[in-house]
Amino acid sequence: MTLETLSTNKAHGGVQGVYRHEATTTGTPMTFSVFVPAHEDGAKLPMLWYLSGLTCTHANVTEKGEYRAACAEHGVIFIAPDTSPRGDEVPDDDGYDFGKGAGFYVDATEAPWSGNYRMRSYVEDELPALILREFPMADLSRQGITGHSMGGHGALTIGLRNPDRFKSVSAFAPIVSPLHCPWGEKALTGYIGGDREDWRAYDACAMIADGLRVPEMLVDQGDADQFLSEQLKPELLKAACDGAGIELTLRMQPGYDHSYYFISTFLPEHVAWHAKRLNG
């Protein structure tokens, strides 16, 4: 397992890199980006994972996210994986919301998806192991996770599943319950199969109802988001957190939509919020 450097650029005093490796979990090359802020030799830095939404690669947030100034200020490494396996041999779907660009951070069990679509294991296990080996300044004892839309779903579910690993969890306009939205129903039917009980392991609200816990969450949601009422439904997460004693800070942001103009407005605040918890 070797790491290929596709590009490095100095930015905000640190280095924004893009890398590729042959991933065992997905059976494909996988590309991701890492921003490492300036730091003293031998220093260990906390890490913030950012999981992207439907149709995205690592590149969207890397180019449009406006996170580097905040990461430089707070000394936080920023890691952005891809959203699915890629390649001509990888099965795909005609829709933008299933198949390539839409891995949903699950380990698929259904054919033909189960061979490559193992983004849960990739993000939870394989990529962290690679980061540990290749980025010696990364402090794996101080990790936070965030994400947008489908990636917000990824952040919430992976955060809930690994509360010892991720000390801080936030999201932007997340899919909070795949059981209760068309995007989730299509994707989980395809990847996991028709038994909705099996979906509960990939549904943040169901995971909370089933006893999984993190102490707190920060969620920003634009109230002009075109997917708000049909797909995102933050009220379901609020009800689940209220019932479980999870301190949810849900900020409805007036006039903001689902785009990177929304994300880039608030991502610096999320970086600071995670840094406070990871550096504290």
Dihedral through CA 167, CA 13, CA 151, CA 23, nearest 10? -90
Minimum distance of its own copies from residue 219's CB (angstroms) = 18
Q: Which residues contact 31 (CB under 8 A, 6 or more apart)?
A: 6, 18, 19, 20, 57, 58, 82, 86
Minimum distance of its own copies from residue 37's CB (angstroms) = 12
Please answer whether residues 93 and 116 qualify as being in contact, where contact means their C-beta atoms are separated by less than 8 angstroms.
Answer: no
Q: Between 10 and 195, whose beta carbon lies closer to its own copies?
A: 10
Q: Between 96 and 261, whose beta carbon lies closer to its own copies?
A: 261
- Catalytic positions, please? 149, 225, 258
Q: How far is the C-alpha of 93 from the C-alpha of 99, rounded, in Å?
A: 5
Give, rounded to a whole angstrom, the gap between the first and last alpha carbons of the chain: 34
Minimum distance of its own copies from residue 45's CB (angstroms) = 19
Minimum distance of its own copies from residue 255's CB (angstroms) = 4
Q: Between 203 and 225, whose beta carbon lies closer to its own copies?
A: 225
DSSP H or E segment with residue 11: strand 3-11
Q: Between 11 and 244, whose beta carbon lies closer to its own copies?
A: 11
DSSP 104-166: TT-B--STTGGGT-BHHHIIIIIHHHHHHHH-TTEEEEEEEEEEBTHHHHHHHHHHHH-TTTE
Minimum distance of its own copies from residue 23's CB (angstroms) = 26
Q: Between 17 and 128, whose beta carbon lies closer to its own copies?
A: 17
Nearest CA to 52 out of 148, 128, 124, 172 is that of 148
Minimum distance of its own copies from residue 72's CB (angstroms) = 9
Alpha-carbon separation of residue 243 from 172, 176, 238, 249, 276 (angstroms): 22, 15, 8, 14, 26
| Contacting residues toward its own copies, per CB under 8 A | 9-13, 16, 63-64, 66, 68-69, 222, 224, 255-257, 259-262, 264-265, 268
Q: How far is the C-alpha of 38 from the C-alpha of 175, rounded, in Å?
A: 34
Q: Report strand pairing: 166-172 vs 28-36.
A: unpaired
Q: Between 122 and 256, whose beta carbon lies closer to its own copies?
A: 256
DSSP 174-200: ----GGGSHHHHHHHHHHH-S-GGGGG
